[in-house]
Amino acid sequence: MVCLSKGAKDECNIVEVVGRNYHNEEIAVPVANLKLSCQPSLSLNGFQLHLPVTFRLRSGSGPVHLSGLHQIFDRRDLLDDELSEEDEDFSEEDEGELSPVKPAKKKKQSLSLAPPKDL
């Protein structure tokens, strides 16, 4: 979450994220344009960063506050959780409620494998 704080002026406050690209060059990307009268805060829900990064107030006088949650996941843990949830969704009780699969009906067709007769 990015938000203006008490004492902020009614001006554009542009917040950018500064990081490095794959050539190890500094790159800055604006992520928020805050103004007290129309957009004093912005949720960056789902915004993922690859550390290290720096938040910088590119324009405006602020003050701007940042808050967030830093989570680290092990992919193996995520896979185990997904598999266990699927197992919970399909239990033995569910098996009894399912109707049995019926074999497909065969249609009788007369196919002749003999070569065509000459007229």
Q: Which two tokens stand for residue 41?
A: 């805060």
pLDDT along the chain (119 residues), means of 10: 93 95 92 95 86 92 88 70 56 51 56 55
Domains and CATH numbers, the chain: 2-63 (2.60.120.340)
The sign one gets for the Cα dihedral 76, 82, 88, 92 is negative
Q: Is the pTM of this model over 0.85?
A: no
